[in-house]
Chain A
Amino acid sequence: DAMVIQNPRYQVTQFGKPVTLSCSQTLNHNVMYWYQQKSSQAPKLLFHYYDKDFNNEADTPDNFQSRRPNTSFCFLDIRSPGLGDAAMYLCATSRGDRGYTDTQYFGPGTRLTVL
């Protein structure tokens, strides 16, 4: 089945130690998104790629960066994780249709713990 895959499902890192989360998709979608979801809160968009074009949300901290080496893969890099970055990180994809009916499909998420 075509899907959005996130690895690992659980990641533990130390305060200040860089960490990379990965997302892959078999849907051949043009757009890939990264969301952050803190405990008991709604998901919040960090940034997205439309093909190779990177689109950062205005309030996303500089500590968060992303790479998309090809259509299938997208990475979330946290340069110096703080305790406040502990969260579920969700990857989503969409075809990239122009207009308002471009459904986003989510992966299962990676839960990041910062010690």
Chain B
Amino acid sequence: DAKTTQPPSMDCAEGRAANLPCNHSTISGNEYVYWYRQIHSQGPQYIIHGLKNNETNEMASLIITEDRKSSTLILPHATLRDTAVYYCIVRGGNTGKLIFGQGTTLQVKP
């Protein structure tokens, strides 16, 4: 599975959009981009995933570049409860395993 690179930490003001970048330059054609988040002392929570097209659900939007080498997770109106570690995972291959990297710690501030 392709590796991902994320900034270790980011801050965001409450009520503003949080844009979390992820680089996955070695992604192959059949690999999906998944985003999970983990609030302190809880299990990871699925957010969204995509292959080529941009995706949106009730939690977030996922923007994938045309060459698929990077993506951005957008939380449109961040709240204090969105403070968490956000993991970008490239998933595919034969097993479809989730291989977590170190993620981005997002701190939403009042």
Contacts and interface: CB of A to CB of B under 8 A. Distances in A.
Q: A and B, one complex?
A: yes
Interface of A: 4, 6, 42-45, 88, 90, 92, 99-109, 111
Contacts, number: 46
B102 A42 contact: yes
Interface of B: 30-32, 34, 41-46, 49, 87, 91-93, 96-103
Contact of B92 (A4, A92, A100): A100
Nearest to A43: B100
A100 B28 CA distance: 12
B96 A42 contact: no
Tell me the dominant secondary structure on chain B's binding face. Answer: loop
B42 A109 contact: yes
Contacts of B31: 100
Contacts of A105: 46
B37 to A, nearest CB: 11
* Shortest beta-carbon contacts, A-B, top 7: A106-B43, A42-B100, A100-B92, A106-B44, A100-B32, A43-B100, A109-B43
